[in-house]
Amino acid sequence: MSVSQSKPIKRLAFVLNQTKREAFEMLGRLRTIAEANGVEIRETHEFPVPEGFLEGMDACCVIGGDGTFLSVASESTERQVPLIGVNRGTLGFLTTYSAEEIEALFPSVLQGSYNIRSRGLLECRTEESHWDVALNDVVIKSASVSRIVHLNVFADGEFVTTYVCDGLIFSTPTGSTAYTLSAGGPLIHPEARVISLTPICPHALSNRSIILPESVELRVENAIPNGQLVVAVDGQRNLSTSEDSSISIKLSPKNLPIAQKVDYSHFNVVRRKLKWSGGYAGDPT
Rounded to whole angstroms, the Cα distance separating 53 from 76 reads 9
> Which residues fall within 8 angstroms of residue 116, CB to CB, at 6 or more apart?
3, 4, 5, 6, 82, 257, 258, 259, 260
Reply yes or no on whether 66 is catalytic. Answer: yes
Using alpha carbons, select from 151, 156, 157, 126 the residue that is nearest to residue 221: 151
Closest CA to 130 of 247, 37, 15, 25: 247
User: Could you give the CA distance from residue 197 to residue 210 in angstroms, rounded to a whole number?
Assistant: 5
How far apart, in whole angstroms, are the C-alpha atoms of residue 83 and residue 190? 16
Over its C-alpha atoms, the chain yields an Rg (Å, rounded) of 20
For the beta carbon of residue 126, count every other beta carbon within 10 angstroms.
19
- SS3 label, residue 53: coil
User: In DSSP terms, which residues pair with 167 in a beta bridge?
Assistant: 141, 200
85 residue type, one letter: G
d(CA 29, CA 170): 39
From 66, 137, 166, 234, the catalytic residue: 66
**Contact (CB, 8 A) for 1 and 46:** no
Q: Is 247 exposed, middle or buried (0-12, 13-18, 19+ CB in 10 A)?
A: buried
Residues serving a catalytic function are 66
